[in-house]
């Protein structure tokens, strides 16, 4: 075993070292200007981001979680004073469901497609029929792969409700039409949490929209609903993108495409190494047997997966043991997500049983994310793949 190799789940230090002169200069320029909240550095970044995402309006805010709150406030009339339902996936980061509840709305959790881990449109259709006051649909583009946006937008239209795209993990992801995600729904929401493909030096987020009225509402709501200064027609929040984050993100945005490509190369390396051992992709259920590992299925071009996470699937009984084994070999991994939202204690009053969303439950027990960041070396990639192939192969032979 090559003892000298460690592979963290994510290591951002090489990225910073490579860009240090540019980033340090951008930070210093903000410090020199002493203009820290919104202002020209933020507007420049918003314009650059709008161009990258192919959207007319991009409004920075304090986090991806706040972006969700602002989006719901902007497109669901009457919040937080109405009682309404929002359909979203259960298998996602907490912020998706949390934002809905924080505004007094009720999350209605949909199950996922086990192939892509994204919200299943057929289940959304069923739930939408059962809702008595559906006010929005909130899909997530999980792990950096687009959900079935065509189907979900059609459902939004059919039920007369806005679709908000949680694109926190998916900047640069393209959907089945080849369109940038976050641009076809009423609002797209983004996170620049450091672990995202475009990550800041702290918390940061953004909303995108093609509707100028929605953009105006977002612009006002992120500063306490204030327009003009010290006059409030509506109650907003304090959620502004600060200039230091915008400066860092602006430098990094110029390199984002090359990082996506590196992540795709790393994913292709893993795919090939696991396939050589007999693994197939997630279109074949793990219960069907064969080598007990499923690689992530990526929708074909013009769709584009940006691999914010590279998530494999192994049988439930093996997952936690594999994670422990990787830890012993100094290989980082993570479980996204061990407890789907419909099973979270804070949502117990919604009355879900774990089995109500069987695919979400199963994914929470069988999936594990591997290191995929752009700066991984060939040696590190090989170490991860070899370690997994050997362990899964041995474990399968023992279990057989
Ligand atoms: C799907 C999803 N939605 C929302 C968020 C919230 O973003 P933030 O951490 O910037 O608040 C995240 C962050 O991890 C996320 O993954």
Full 3-state SS string of 184-204 = CCCEEEEECCCCCCCCCCCCC
- Residue pLDDT, tens place only, 340-376: 999 999 999 999 999 999 999 999 999 999 999 999 9
Domain boundary at 253, 268, 288, which?
253
Cβ of 140 less than 6 Å from ligand 1 = yes
Domain boundary at 221, 253, 285, which?
253
Residues 48 and 194 reside in one and the same domain? yes
400 pLDDT higher than 60: no
Let me know if residue 344 belongs to a domain.
Answer: yes
Which residue has its alpha carbon closest to ligand 1 atom 10? 64
What pLDDT sits at residue 194?
98
pLDDT band at 233 (very low <50, low <70, confident <90, very high): confident
Residues 277 and 213 reside in one and the same domain? no
290 pLDDT higher than 70: yes
Residues 239 and 347 reside in one and the same domain? no
Mean pLDDT of 86-104: 98
| Nearest one of 296, 264, 270 to 281, comparing CA atoms | 296
Q: What would the two tokens of residue 232 be? A: 């409030």
For 319, residues 6+ apart whose C-beta sits below 8 A from its C-beta are 335, 365, 366, 367, 368
Mean pLDDT of 225-253: 96
What pLDDT sits at residue 399?
67
Mean pLDDT of 310-314: 98
Cβ of 203 less than 6 Å from ligand 1 = yes
Q: Considering its fold, how many domains does the chain have in total?
A: 2
Q: How far is the CA of 11 from the centre of ligand 1 (A)?
A: 19
Residues 151 and 279 reside in one and the same domain? no
Burial 148-166 (b: 16+ CB within 10 A, else e): bbebbbebbeebebbbbbb
What pLDDT sits at residue 2?
67
Residues 249 and 386 reside in one and the same domain? no
Out of 168, 196, 203, mutate this one to test ligand 1's pocket (max ligand atoms within 8 Å of CB): namely 168
Cβ of 95 less than 6 Å from ligand 1 = yes
Out of 66, 68, 71, 95, mutate this one to test ligand 1's pocket (max ligand atoms within 8 Å of CB): namely 95
Domain that holds residue 148: 19-253
Cβ of 96 less than 6 Å from ligand 1 = yes
pLDDT band at 1 (very low <50, low <70, confident <90, very high): low
Task: Report d(CA 364, CA 203) in Å as an integer.
Answer: 26
223 pLDDT higher than 60: yes
Out of 9, 171, 191, mutate this one to test ligand 1's pocket (max ligand atoms within 8 Å of CB): namely 191
Residues 261 and 247 reside in one and the same domain? no
Out of 90, 93, 196, 334, mutate this one to test ligand 1's pocket (max ligand atoms within 8 Å of CB): namely 93
Residues 281 and 359 reside in one and the same domain? yes
Residues 213 and 289 reside in one and the same domain? no
319 pLDDT higher than 70: yes
> CB burial class (10 A; 0-12, 13-18, 19+) of residue 330?
middle
Cβ of 205 less than 6 Å from ligand 1 = yes
Residues 134 and 225 reside in one and the same domain? yes
Q: How far is the CA of 68 from the centre of ligand 1 (A)?
A: 9
- Residue pLDDT, tens place only, 108-133: 999 999 999 999 999 999 999 999 99
Q: How far is the CA of 165 from the centre of ligand 1 (A)?
A: 12
Let me know if residue 69 belongs to a domain.
Answer: yes
**3-state helix, strand and coil shares in percent for the chain, rounded to the nearest 5:** 45, 15, 40
Task: Report d(CA 288, CA 282) in Å as an integer.
Answer: 11
Cβ of 63 less than 6 Å from ligand 1 = yes
Q: What is the phi-psi region of residue 295: left when phi exceeds 0, alpha when psi lies from -120 to 50, beta otherwise?
A: beta
The DSSP secondary-structure symbol of 296 reads P
Average pLDDT, the chain: 97
Mean pLDDT of 37-60: 97
180 pLDDT higher than 60: yes
In the chain, pLDDT over 90 holds for what percent of residues?
A: 97
Cβ of 190 less than 6 Å from ligand 1 = no
């Amino acid at each position: 075993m090559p003892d000298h190799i460690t592979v963290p789940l994510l290591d951002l230090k090489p990225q910073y070292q490579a860009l240090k002169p540019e980033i340090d200069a951008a930070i210093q320029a903000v410090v020199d200007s002493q203009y820290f909240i919104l202002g020209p550095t933020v507007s420049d970044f918003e314009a650059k981001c709008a161009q990258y995402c192919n959207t007319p309006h991009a409004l920075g805010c304090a986090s991806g979680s706040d972006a969700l709150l602002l989006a719901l406030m902007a497109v669901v009339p009457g919040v937080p004073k109405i009682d309404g339902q929002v359909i979203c996936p259960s298998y996602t980061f907490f912020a998706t469901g949390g934002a809905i509840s924080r505004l007094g709305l009720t999350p209605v959790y949909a199950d996922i497609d086990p192939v892509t881990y994204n919200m299943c449109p057929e289940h959304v259709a069923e739930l939408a029929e059962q809702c008595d006051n559906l006010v929005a649909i909130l899909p997530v583009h999980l792990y950096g792969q687009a959900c079935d946006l065509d189907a979900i937008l059609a459902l939004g239209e059919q039920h007369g409700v806005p679709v908000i795209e949680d694109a926190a993990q998916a900047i640069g992801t393209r959907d089945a039409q080849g369109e940038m995600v976050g641009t076809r729904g009423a609002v797209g929401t983004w996170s620049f949490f450091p672990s995202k493909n475009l990550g800041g030096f702290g918390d940061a987020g953004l909303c995108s929209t093609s509707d100028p009225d929605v953009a105006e509402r977002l612009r006002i709501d992120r500063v306490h609903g204030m327009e003009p200064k010290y006059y409030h027609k509506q109650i907003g929040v304090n959620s502004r993108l600060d200039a230091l984050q915008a400066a860092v993100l602006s430098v990094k945005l110029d390199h984002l495409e090359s990082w996506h490509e590196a992540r795709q190369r790393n994913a292709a390396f893993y795919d090939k190494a696991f396939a050589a051992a007999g693994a197939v992709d997630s279109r074949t259920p793990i219960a069907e047997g064969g080598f007990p590992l499923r690689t992530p299925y990526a929708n074909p071009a013009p769709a584009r997966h940006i691999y914010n996470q590279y998530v494999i699937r192994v049988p439930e009984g093996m997952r936690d043991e594999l994670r422990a084994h990787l830890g012993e070999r100094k290989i980082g991994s993570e479980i996204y997500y061990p407890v789907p939202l419909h099973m979270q204690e804070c949502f117990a009053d919604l009355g879900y049983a774990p089995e109500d969303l069987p695919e979400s439950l199963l994914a929470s027990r069988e999936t594990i994310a591997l290191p995929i960041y752009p700066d991984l070396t060939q040696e590190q990639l090989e170490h991860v793949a070899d370690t997994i192939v050997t362990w899964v192969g041995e474990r399968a032979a023992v279990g057989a």
